[in-house]
Structure 1
Amino acid sequence: MRIVLVGPPGAGKGTQAAYLAKNLSIPHISTGDLFRANISQGTALGKQAKAYMDAGNLVPDEVTIAMAKDRMEQPDAQGGFLLDGFPRNVSQAEALDEMLKAESMKLDAVLDLEVPEDEVVKRIAGRRVCRNESSHVFHVTYAPPKQEGVCDTCGGELYQRDDDREETVRKRLEVYHTQTEPIIDYYRSQGLVVTIAALGKVEEVTERAMSALRGDRAA
């Protein structure tokens, strides 16, 4: 299957993408991973992306599109893939359509993870990260540490990252509504969008998505 996963920041796209890719036996292709891989390997595209990022600028669509095209042409993606973070806007969606059309392929579904805006803010703004080890993550409501402000694992100080602050989260949501949300209407006109309620346990959301992909679109 060839699937695009969309949803606002904090909707759990990365977590769901990993579960779904495993269940469907297809590679999970995320924009963040593409950037990191190309930059660490020193590819021509990676060098271009790094130059823009180092200057504090957004990476242009053509560089992102070229990275995605290169990844989708790899042998493990020939039987399908799950795209996470790409396309990010309508022009990227149009470019993806052209890429697939050139290979006589098409998307099977666009999964739209739906989460109320207040819940998104609560999820992200409540995150606390350990200063000693960034993989040690807690949440003031959903996964609080035993002692406030102290990492259960190593005793390090827990803090709120600047990009997790409420005002920053709301700005990120504005960007999502302006740039990315329009692709949902673009794909809806093609009859590809399946909206999934992304509240509840991770496994429950995954099962809703799998059920929808099996043809029960009332997920």
Structure 2
Amino acid sequence: MRLILLGPPGAGKGTQAARLVQKYGIPQLSTGDMLRAAVAAGTPIGLKARDVMESGGLVSDEIVVGIIADRIGEPDARNGFILDGFPRTVKQAEALDAMLAAKGLKLDAAIELTVDAGKLVDRIVNRAAEARAAGQPVRKDDDPDVFKSRLAAYEHDTAAVTPVYRRLGLLRGVDGMAPIDAVTAAIDAVLKDVAAASAS
């Protein structure tokens, strides 16, 4: 099962990815983690990434896709993977598709956790207030202003990726505002449909 999880920050992608990892025994691939691991391991593409990062530059799409290509060649990704936080742009979606095609692979589904942006901001504001009331530090990502700017960046770039997967017939929407267990059940239903369709 090769999946992409789409949805704005705070939609619950991390929670659902962790459940999919447990259920299907496939790795969740975070580009940030893979980048750090490739740099630490000193792989050819990791060294390229390190040079860019040390000069203060942004790692190119080509390098990121190269790191994903290396990672999905590892034994634990043989039965599939979950990409979370990538692709973020149409160009990245096209590069990912070309890389997978070159390996004779394709995505099974792109699952979008759909949310109400206004309610999502309320959820984060409440979470920050609860943390303060409990005397806990507020996570940087839960600062309402930081969150709003991340949401705006998502809507500007990543929301453009959704139509790409809709055109390819891979996009499946799931209500991300539902309770966590209901979201998990909806994703399970989607994946059963996908498996049945690919078996027929």
Please state which band the TM-score falls in when normalised by the shorter chain: 0.7 to 0.9
Query: Which residue identity lines up with residue 105 of structure 1 in the other structure?
Result: L
> Is 1:177 matched with 2:155?
yes
SS in 1 for 2:110: strand
User: Which is bigger in relative contact order (C-alpha 8 A, separation at least 6)?
Assistant: 2
Deviation at 1:207, TM superposition (A): 1.0
1:1-219 equivalence runs, <5 A? 1-53=1-53, 56-128=56-128, 140=130, 148-150=133-135, 158-215=136-193
Matched residues in 1 for 2:127 and 2:39: separation? 28
SS in 2 for 1:113: strand
Matched residues in 2 for 1:123 and 1:46: separation? 37
**Contact 2:27–2:82 (CA under 8 A) maintained in structure 1:** yes
SS in 2 for 1:112: strand
SS in 1 for 2:119: helix
Aligned Cα root-mean-square deviation (Å): 2.3
Matched residues in 2 for 1:64 and 1:16: separation? 23
Question: CA 1:77 to 1:198, structure 2 compared with 1: closer, same or farther past 3 Å?
Answer: same
SS in 2 for 1:29: strand
**Contact 1:125–1:169 (CA under 8 A) maintained in structure 2:** no
Deviation at 1:192, TM superposition (A): 0.6
TM-score for both structures, normalised by structure 1: 0.78
Matched residues in 2 for 1:99 and 1:181: separation? 22
Deviation at 1:162, TM superposition (A): 4.4
Matched residues in 2 for 1:73 and 1:201: separation? 35
Deviation at 1:196, TM superposition (A): 0.5
Identity %: 42
Matched residues in 1 for 2:50 and 2:16: separation? 28
Deviation at 1:56, TM superposition (A): 5.0
Deviation at 1:52, TM superposition (A): 4.3
Would you tell me which structure has more helix in proportion to its own residues?
2
What is the number of equivalent residue pairs in this alignment?
Answer: 194
**Contact 2:65–2:99 (CA under 8 A) maintained in structure 1:** no
Question: CA 1:124 to 1:97, structure 2 compared with 1: closer, same or farther past 3 Å?
Answer: same
Query: Which residue identity lines up with residue 167 of structure 1 in the other structure?
Result: D
For structure 1, which runs of at least 5 residues remain unmatched after alignment?
129-138, 151-157
Query: Which residue identity lines up with residue 23 of structure 1 in the other structure?
Result: K
**Contact 2:176–2:183 (CA under 8 A) maintained in structure 1:** yes
| 1:84-105 CA-partner distances (Å, limit 9, x unpaired) | 1121111111111111211222
Deviation at 1:77, TM superposition (A): 1.2
Matched residues in 2 for 1:61 and 1:68: separation? 10
TM-score for both structures, normalised by structure 2: 0.85
